[in-house]
Structure 1
Amino acid sequence: MKKLLILFFLCSSVVFSQKNKSLKQVLNQLTNTYNITFSYDENQIQNFNKILFHSENDLNTILINLSLQTQLVFEKIDDENYIIRNKTKETKNICGIVYSDKTKEKLPFANIYFDDKTVLTNQQGKFEIKDVLNDDFITLKLIGYEPKSIPVNSFNTDCKKIFLNEKIHQLTEVIITDYLTTGFSKNEDGSVVLNPKKSGILPGVVEPDVLQSLQLIPGVQSPDETASGLHIRGSTPDQNLVVFDGMKMYHFSHYFGLISAFNPYITNNIKLYRSGTHAKYGNNIGGVLDISTDNKAPNKLSSGFGTTLTHADFFIKVPMFCKKVGLVFSARRSITDVVNTVTNQQYAKVAFQNSKIAEGLSQENLRITNANNDFFYEDYYSKIMVQPNLNNKFSFSYLYNHNNLSFNGENTRAQEEFKDDIEIINNGFHVNWELGTLKKGIHNLAFSKTAFEKNYEGFRIRTTGNANQQNIFFDKENTVNEVTGAYSFKKQTQKNNIWEFGYQFSKPDLIYHFKRDTQFQEDFIDDNINGNANNYAIFSEYQFHQNNKWKLNLGVRWQRFNGVDKDFLEPRFHLNYKTNNYLNVKFSAELKHQSLSQVQDFRNDGLGGLFNNFWALANNSDFPVLESVQTSLGADYQKNRWTIDLELYHKKIDGILFLFDQRIRAQKYFSGNNNVKGADFLIKKEWNQYNTWISYSLSKSIYHFGNLNNGAPFNGSFDVPHNFIWSHHYNIKKVELSLGWRFRSGIPYTVKTAELNNNNRLRIVFDDLNTNRLPNYTRLDFACRYKFFVRKNKNVKGNIGIAFQNILDKRNILSRDYEIQRIVTGQGSNRSEKEVLVEIDRIALGFVPNISFRVNF
């Protein structure tokens, strides 16, 4: 075992570029560097001429390394004097308890290496060793933590408390650890990284939902309270680039946005860019969300399963063929069609409100009869990884997401039958081949295909008082099929500098069809919007480091969108300057373009907002290319368990689009721009078991459409001047508690009135857009998680969690719109109908409890 420990340190030394020196040279250098004196016998040290020595380590680590290489004892007399002697044969009994340095939790099943032997800590993190050499060392190792060596003579009669530091990959790039809580970090390139496997529990989140967790970061919010509705610094969700394991996502939620479609238990890192994105990311003008899974074959078999009150899931990771090949598979399916839990009932109220579906689900609504609802969602993911050697990797991954709703019923009082069928499918695959090393150059070749399809069919059949029928049939379809190919080359040109070059190709094919068939000609719609194009891009980026202080990302991207037959040049710039070990100053600027975006369709489809956005491709007539210019300036600070992050930004977006009914507006399409200014602020303080943080965003979004509001600027549709979150996290032994309070300004809305048209029927008339504002939004959330081990000395662990959203059951309003409805009064010969304008509010989630249970092997 001693030989293994020596080999471990030797390997570590090679990794950190240690140099061979004689022990005498090392001791002289340490004497000069630390102003200390070594006393020794020359005969003891003269034969040690090939010592691996790394001067950047601290003195204690250096001495432990020297002792392991020489089997000599470096004994400290006082702060300035050390003696070097041979080891004695004296032994002693030692006891220790191992803790996590961050969470202060006791760490079970940690490996303790000593004198060619190994012991494990028990479930309480405790270990005891008898008759160990007093001059020896013990080494502690645990997956996910940095190894630590401790001299035996530092132990006394009491159990020694030992704290292990969590292992952080790419440490040189991380400038803030535990950005919000454990599992969050912030890199030098400005990205915020989330590792769901290490994430601490968050307020109101029963499991580490990828998209809900990101909403606690300053500058990220969801005005409609959905998981997928991420607005990043004024950019709408469709303007964000979401990539899952190399596949571009056009739909990434279940339950009409309330639940993320990404299984958190098979994801590794979620990297979020709010600004300063790399040149390899293109065809988007908002933020970037890059979600990665395992890219190496697993070393051992692992699996897990769990359930919440909305769905159940399972995953497995299997190593094969001497760990050169690995398989990952996960499956998740809702239980909504099996058991109607209280969580499902609350979600259904929000997802289907203001629609016939909601009326049919309401037990208090006696007008709806023969209601039949069938709703479920599911997702599946699989990946094969092949790694014949360290410099050659191949992977194939496949993803399938599916949501299906079928609902029908009758309103006997209004003599109306109705039916709604909605199906949403998103699937794709990604093939990736990586060859080479960073010093010699890494070649990466990738190919992927993404398919998104959303279909809706429905009808409303009404029998009027004179026995006539008024029939409305709806048919909506939106599909996106995209094939992409990419090649990149990355090389370390000098010690800390990296150059990357790449070529990308994509071919999107989009279809949008909306048909509203009715006997009233002015209400009839049959609209087809199709588009396809070949898009090309070349990018190059140079990452420059100097003196561990300056880091510069200088990139440029050239794009050609054949749909508009235009070329676009996009410079990207990000600078990070480390003034000292605690303070960083940063600046970024970027120009970006986007040819595929969602258009907001204000036309009535009978669904009450479930299908009011559609994907469209830029052309030279109705749909412009979106353009965004963004600059940001800020600083972040982390010291003495304080974290402070401040960033100012300005963004201007050109080409946003509205689509109106032509009978409501003389013009159908309206294009304008959005000017956003803001500041994102985070302050956090950690204690031993408790930490608290405040996330605050101050922003202003102003629209300008030349043909709307008489050409005057007006509030953006999702303008939220103030967004404030105060969160608390407390960890005691195996229990985690989290409490969070949210406050944000209400979003603007447009007041609408009604007037009679030539057929003596009401029609909607718009006032000036977004002149009024909804009430402010507040919510208090809580979550708790208990961790347990199923069997002793086995890596079988689990957890039970409970979460409460909106504990105070606040009635928050998410949006406000207006609709013309027919009101029926009386019966028989006294039956009459009339049209009225009704104000319709979309209400946020009320009090929602949820429970999770999980076991991992």
Structure 2
Amino acid sequence: MKKVFIIFILFLNFPLFAQNQNLVYQEESLVTVIKDLEEKFSVRFSFNSEILEGKTFNFSGEASLDDILNLLEKQVLISSQKIDESNIILKKDESAILLTQAFNLDEVLLNAEYLTVGFDKNEDDGSIKVSPSKLGILPGLTEPDVLQSLQMLPGISSPTETASDIHIRGGTPDQNLVLWDGIKMYHQGHFFGQISAFNPYITETINVFRSGTSAKYGDRISGVVDIRSSEELPDSLEAGIGINLVHADVFIKAPLVKNKLSLTTSARRSYSDILNSITFQKMSNKVFQNTKIDGGGTLTADTEFEELKNRFYFTDYNLKLLWKPNEKHTLSFSSLWVTNKLDYKSKTTYTFEGSEPSDLNSADDLDLTNNGFNFKWDATLSDHVKLNTTGYISNYTSAYFYEDTFGPDDLYKSNTANEIKDKGFTIGLQYAQNKHHVFRLGYDMSSNDIIYQIDTDYNNSNPFLDKDDDKLNLHSLFTEYVYLQNKWTFQAGLRASKISSLNKSLIEPRLYINRKLNNFWDIKASYETKNQTISKVLSTNQNYLGLGNSLWVLADNDRPIMNSKQFSIGFLFEEQGWKLDVDAYYKKTKGLTALKEIFNTAGVQPDDDADSFNKGKSESFGIDFLVKKQVKDFRTWLSYSLSKTNYFFDEVNNGKAYLGNFDQTHVLSLSNTYKYNKFQFSLGWSISTGKPYTNPKGVNQDANLIDYDEQNALRLKTYHKLDASVVYDFLFSKKNNVKGRIGFSVINIYDRKNELEKTFRLDSSSNNNSVRIVEQTNFGLGITPNLVFRLNF
């Protein structure tokens, strides 16, 4: 541990070299900016003076000349061409549609990089934009992970140490709206959330909203993660192939008709059913601990366990057709297939005193899939009006089958199925009066059909069936006004929805304001109201693997519509490579629903005559901090969240507030990246408060139940770990048309045993015919290495 700490300190003081300059331009004339750049970077620009007339430029921070040239292309549509290291030609970017700046608000103006290369802040709505293709190296990752990358941001974390189950400001993962090219996703992870289900090599941008969400997004009450593939036609064939210690992938971007039609496709598959690598084994140890797969879980001296079959794999496929018949129309078709498959068989031999051994044979089969399609048409109707039309279909299926036989007579079967059929469309108009005023108006409709069924049977004599089939249609109108001028950014929106099946109406105001006080300081505020008609409930009885124990259900007369209101206020400071971003928030949520059986509190066990659901509310409040310093090619940032989430359920804890299941008072991470020639290095340390849990106080022998103390009154031990990564980029061929990358990463370098969950069960295997409480603790990943090798053509 001492050596690791010394290495960590040395890393923080690594020598730094680059050609960055501290620059401040606030609505500065482009002519003045060009003269200043010539002086600071000792270069000479050649250009036609007409392309600079009447244009201004905004930037504050430390940047290289290449960074500024890229921003010039985005902000004022001026491209650059280097003649040599000292002479640069500027010209109008003829490849862009030369409309007003405000008309291009779908590609919102960007501030200087937010965390590291590939993280930018959208100025018109406060969201964060992540570009995986540009993303710099991150601690513990040898290649980008679409969702895990977001956990670098304050206010976004994963208390369960997964990539896909992200919690945004007190919300739960099912309360996040996750879109892939406009397709609503209900399953976002591979291997029970350890890896994102989205291929980063065909992902162009990820826009994430923690607050101040645009009115065009609906039907979720927490964050928004809008993932998009490229909307640009490739000029030539692009391809890539890669392999790490968990999966392999390939992608192709091909122009079918030059400047008109292109095809993008990708595939990823794990090879764990063929080769059991050290990385996959480490993940398996985490995922399957305290289940039958880790060796039987509850074996005693009188039992023997044998694994007969263990086949697990995941796949995802993408296909996108992009057609631009002319400069005013773009049509695209996107599709996605995500599959996770587990097939497991085992035998347990019991030897009872005075009798022959008896075998318990069991079989588990679990399928998780999410498939979807999207069609999109963007049209430029005039210099001021733009039309957006999109339609989607998303199908989710979770199917679990369990069977066991004990001797020749005892047969038990269980089937659990959860299916979602979601389809919808959106039509929107955008009117740009000028570069300062933009108006949006739209309508969208979505239709959800959700089925769940739990079917159990014992010896064909005691069948049990629980099923539900709900449908819900949601119609929404939304409008939005965006104002961008001088030092003000103002976005106000309203979303009005009608649920035809429940005959209910919903109104959702949205607001985001940003005010530049001077060249260094911004203040900001936001407010939003959101509603959600679909959610996950947890069932402890449906899955004997202890995995995927949740069902998607729709709001109805028993399950209320969830509603949240969030207010945030903060400030941003940027100067000489420093960035300080502080955001305080308060969020109140109503309409939470949970099965009574999940509460570890006496008196809330469901009975046949009572409603099996508990209804409650929550409140979350906190402050998110980001402090970043960039010195040449070295970047270091500290992300910290101070927060608290309280739950209120009338039948739990006597109706008093108790800590939310995923509440973490402190979440802090310190990350560092450094680029030297063809090498990139990253080191990061994170620490957070342990999750709450409920402690048992004894056993009710008559009811054969555990009696518990106050709900979530205790906490797990403090969580912390150190992660590192290094990659080396090289040219594979002499023609320089094949690029290669080798990378190595280590998660949890000092092998900390981090507690993730603590549960309790009853064991009746003792000889005195009484039951005892057995504590089970699930831990996070131990020290976990990974390797990657990639070729891009």
Q: Judge conservation of contact 2:44–2:88 (CA < 8 Å) in 1.
A: no
Counterparts of 1:302-317 in structure 2, within 5 Å, are 302-317=238-253
Q: Which amino acid aligns with 1:664?
A: Q
1:697-721 CA-to-partner distances (Å, cap 9, x unmatched) read 0001111111211111111111100
Q: Judge conservation of contact 1:816–1:839 (CA < 8 Å) in 2.
A: yes
Structure-1 separation of matches of 2:594 and 2:463: 20
- The alignment status of 1:762 with 2:698, answered yes or no, reads no
Q: Which amino acid aligns with 1:209?
A: D
User: Secondary structure at 2:148's aligned position in 1?
Assistant: helix
- The alignment status of 1:531 with 2:467, answered yes or no, reads no
Structure-2 separation of matches of 1:99 and 1:58: 11
TM-score (norm 1): 0.78
- Measured after TM superposition, the shift of residue 342 of structure 1 is 0.2
Structure-1 separation of matches of 2:689 and 2:47: 61
Q: Judge conservation of contact 1:561–1:595 (CA < 8 Å) in 2.
A: no
- Measured after TM superposition, the shift of residue 514 of structure 1 is 2.1
Q: Judge conservation of contact 2:747–2:783 (CA < 8 Å) in 1.
A: yes
Counterparts of 1:352-367 in structure 2, within 5 Å, are 352-359=288-295, 367=304
**1:316/1:561 CA distance change after superposition, 3 Å:** same
Structure-2 separation of matches of 1:686 and 1:66: 27
Structure-2 separation of matches of 1:138 and 1:536: 53
Matched positions, count: 714
Q: CA RMSD in A?
A: 3.2
**1:483/1:318 CA distance change after superposition, 3 Å:** same
- The alignment status of 1:572 with 2:499, answered yes or no, reads no
- Measured after TM superposition, the shift of residue 791 of structure 1 is 2.2
- The alignment status of 1:495 with 2:429, answered yes or no, reads no
Q: Judge conservation of contact 1:560–1:568 (CA < 8 Å) in 2.
A: yes
Q: Which amino acid aligns with 2:119?
A: F
**1:68/1:805 CA distance change after superposition, 3 Å:** closer
Q: Which of 468, 478, 481 is 2:421 aligned to?
A: 481
Larger relative contact order (Cα-Cα within 8 Å, sequence gap ≥ 6):
2
1:329-354 CA-to-partner distances (Å, cap 9, x unmatched) read 00001011111000010111111222
1:264-315 CA-to-partner distances (Å, cap 9, x unmatched) read 0000110100000000000010000000101122122111010110000000
Q: Judge conservation of contact 2:179–2:227 (CA < 8 Å) in 1.
A: yes
Q: Judge conservation of contact 2:44–2:87 (CA < 8 Å) in 1.
A: no
Q: Judge conservation of contact 2:46–2:87 (CA < 8 Å) in 1.
A: no
**1:254/1:171 CA distance change after superposition, 3 Å:** closer
- Measured after TM superposition, the shift of residue 767 of structure 1 is 3.5
Q: Which residue of 1 aligns with 2:605?
A: 664
Return 5+ residue gaps in structure 1 as ranges: 1-33, 35-52, 71-97, 104-109, 115-126, 129-135, 147-168, 826-831
Structure-1 separation of matches of 2:46 and 2:707: 84
Counterparts of 1:111-150 in structure 2, within 5 Å, are 137=87, 139=89
**1:68/1:687 CA distance change after superposition, 3 Å:** closer
- The alignment status of 1:511 with 2:451, answered yes or no, reads yes
Structure-2 separation of matches of 1:856 and 1:693: 30
Q: Which amino acid aligns with 1:486?
A: T
Structure-2 separation of matches of 1:573 and 1:524: 53
- The alignment status of 1:433 with 2:370, answered yes or no, reads no
Q: Which residue of 2 aligns with 1:161?
A: none
**1:749/1:682 CA distance change after superposition, 3 Å:** same
**1:595/1:646 CA distance change after superposition, 3 Å:** same
Q: Which amino acid aligns with 2:739?
A: K
1:105-150 CA-to-partner distances (Å, cap 9, x unmatched) read xxxxx99765xxxxxxxxxxxx79xxxxxxx955499x9xx9xxxx
- Measured after TM superposition, the shift of residue 473 of structure 1 is 2.7
Q: Which amino acid aligns with 1:181?
A: T
Q: Judge conservation of contact 2:47–2:90 (CA < 8 Å) in 1.
A: no
Q: Which residue of 2 aligns with 1:716?
A: 660
User: Secondary structure at 1:275's aligned position in 2?
Assistant: coil
- The alignment status of 1:619 with 2:553, answered yes or no, reads no
- Measured after TM superposition, the shift of residue 359 of structure 1 is 1.6
> Mean alpha-carbon deviation: is it higher for 356-365 or for 737-746?
356-365
Q: Which residue of 2 aligns with 1:800?
A: 742
> Mean alpha-carbon deviation: is it higher for 183-192 or for 763-772?
763-772
Q: Judge conservation of contact 1:176–1:638 (CA < 8 Å) in 2.
A: no
Q: Which residue of 2 aligns with 1:406?
A: 343
Structure-1 separation of matches of 2:110 and 2:46: 33
**1:290/1:111 CA distance change after superposition, 3 Å:** closer
- Measured after TM superposition, the shift of residue 375 of structure 1 is 0.7
- The alignment status of 1:226 with 2:170, answered yes or no, reads no
Q: Which residue of 2 aligns with 1:773?
A: 715
Structure-1 separation of matches of 2:429 and 2:38: 38
**1:322/1:362 CA distance change after superposition, 3 Å:** farther
TM-score (norm 2): 0.84
**1:221/1:113 CA distance change after superposition, 3 Å:** closer
Structure-2 separation of matches of 1:54 and 1:694: 34
- The alignment status of 1:788 with 2:730, answered yes or no, reads yes
Q: Which residue of 2 aligns with 1:301?
A: 237
Q: Judge conservation of contact 1:439–1:493 (CA < 8 Å) in 2.
A: no
Q: Which of 391, 394, 404 is 1:450 aligned to?
A: 394
Q: Which residue of 2 aligns with 1:50?
A: none
Q: Which amino acid aligns with 1:770?
A: N
Structure-1 separation of matches of 2:657 and 2:227: 37
**1:244/1:708 CA distance change after superposition, 3 Å:** same
Structure-2 separation of matches of 1:436 and 1:228: 36
Q: Which amino acid aligns with 1:641?
A: G
Q: Which amino acid aligns with 1:498?
A: V
Q: Which amino acid aligns with 1:801?
A: G
- Measured after TM superposition, the shift of residue 438 of structure 1 is 7.0
**1:800/1:171 CA distance change after superposition, 3 Å:** farther
Return 5+ residue gaps in structure 2 as ranges: 1-27, 50-63, 70-78, 97-103, 352-358, 598-602
Q: Which residue of 2 aligns with 1:106?
A: none
Structure-1 separation of matches of 2:110 and 2:594: 41
- Measured after TM superposition, the shift of residue 413 of structure 1 is 3.3
User: Secondary structure at 1:58's aligned position in 2?
Assistant: helix
Structure-2 separation of matches of 1:177 and 1:111: 19
> Mean alpha-carbon deviation: is it higher for 420-429 or for 453-462?
453-462
**1:67/1:396 CA distance change after superposition, 3 Å:** closer
Q: Judge conservation of contact 1:664–1:764 (CA < 8 Å) in 2.
A: no
User: Secondary structure at 2:402's aligned position in 1?
Assistant: strand
Q: Which of 188, 210, 215 is 1:279 aligned to?
A: 215
> Mean alpha-carbon deviation: is it higher for 181-190 or for 303-312?
181-190
Q: Which amino acid aligns with 1:413?
A: Y
**1:330/1:455 CA distance change after superposition, 3 Å:** same
Q: Judge conservation of contact 1:783–1:803 (CA < 8 Å) in 2.
A: yes
User: Secondary structure at 2:192's aligned position in 1?
Assistant: helix
The structure with the larger Rg is 1
Q: Which of 195, 198, 202 is 1:259 aligned to?
A: 195
Q: Which residue of 2 aligns with 1:594?
A: 532
Q: Which residue of 2 aligns with 1:88?
A: none
- Measured after TM superposition, the shift of residue 361 of structure 1 is 11
- Measured after TM superposition, the shift of residue 562 of structure 1 is 2.7
**1:307/1:394 CA distance change after superposition, 3 Å:** same
Q: Which amino acid aligns with 2:627?
A: I
**1:441/1:364 CA distance change after superposition, 3 Å:** farther
- Measured after TM superposition, the shift of residue 842 of structure 1 is 1.5
Structure-2 separation of matches of 1:741 and 1:554: 39
Q: Which amino acid aligns with 2:385?
A: G
**1:473/1:710 CA distance change after superposition, 3 Å:** same
Q: Which residue of 1 aligns with 2:8?
A: none
Q: Which residue of 2 aligns with 1:37?
A: none
**1:799/1:620 CA distance change after superposition, 3 Å:** same
- The alignment status of 1:238 with 2:174, answered yes or no, reads yes
**1:527/1:303 CA distance change after superposition, 3 Å:** same
- Measured after TM superposition, the shift of residue 852 of structure 1 is 0.6
Structure-1 separation of matches of 2:229 and 2:433: 28
Q: Which amino acid aligns with 1:499?
A: F
Q: Judge conservation of contact 2:237–2:254 (CA < 8 Å) in 1.
A: yes
Q: Judge conservation of contact 1:674–1:702 (CA < 8 Å) in 2.
A: yes
